[in-house]
Structure 1
Amino acid sequence: MNHPAGPAFDPARWRKSSYSGSDGGCVEINSSTPGWVGLRHSKHGDASPVARFTSAQWRTFQTEVRTRLTGANGIVEVDEHTGGWDVRVLPTGAVLQFSAFEIECFRKAVTAREFD
């Protein structure tokens, strides 16, 4: 189940992977709230929609990212195309758009278990 209005995350604890480029755009995560992980686009900062995962949903999503099979996590739907990913946050319908480079950086970080 998606929880669009909560929980809140510590604004100072959003982080990108070590694989992120210097262009400023990347997937950002925040695990400052016990039992929860937030995902947003760094290029939009605090104005970005946030996908909120329980810890179990986050583990499922990371497995999906590693295996390139997405759709079973219940929080986001991913439309993967040559230009990158459109990530639709359920049920709000908000869309996070990531370039192919941003997604590849995120995938490398997930594979390296930076966000476990």
Structure 2
Amino acid sequence: MDPLDAAWRKSSYSSNTGACVEVAEVPSGTHVRDSLQPELGHLTFASTEWSVFVTSVKE
């Protein structure tokens, strides 16, 4: 899937400054990018890697 076609979202906890991290869940895993500069690209994490990261952040 082309990252430009992905459904990007950001946390409801994000501030109004626009300086946020956006994520898009795709079949290959999860894309992560800077909301202010999406043209700079993204990082892709495998589903298991993203799950471990989110779980550890919540702890």
1:1-116 aligned within 5 A: 8-11=2-5, 13-31=7-25, 33-47=26-40, 49-67=41-59
Query: Take 1:41 and 1:64, find their aligned partners in 2: how far apart are those partners?
Result: 21
Structure 1 residue 11: Cα displacement: 3.9
SS, match of residue 12 in structure 2: coil
Report the count of equivalent residues: 59
Root-mean-square deviation over aligned CA pairs: 1.9
Query: Take 2:37 and 2:54, find their aligned partners in 1: how far apart are those partners?
Result: 22
State the AA in 2 paired with 1:62: V
1:43-89 per-position Cα deviation (integer Å, ceiling 9, x unaligned): 11222x4221111111011122223xxxxxxxxxxxxxxxxxxxxxx
Structure 1 residue runs without a partner (length 5+): 1-6, 68-116
SS, match of residue 19 in structure 1: coil
TM-score when scaled to structure 2? 0.77
Structure 2 residue runs without a partner (length 5+): none
State the AA in 2 paired with 1:57: E
**Identity score, percent:** 36
State the AA in 1 paired with 2:57: V
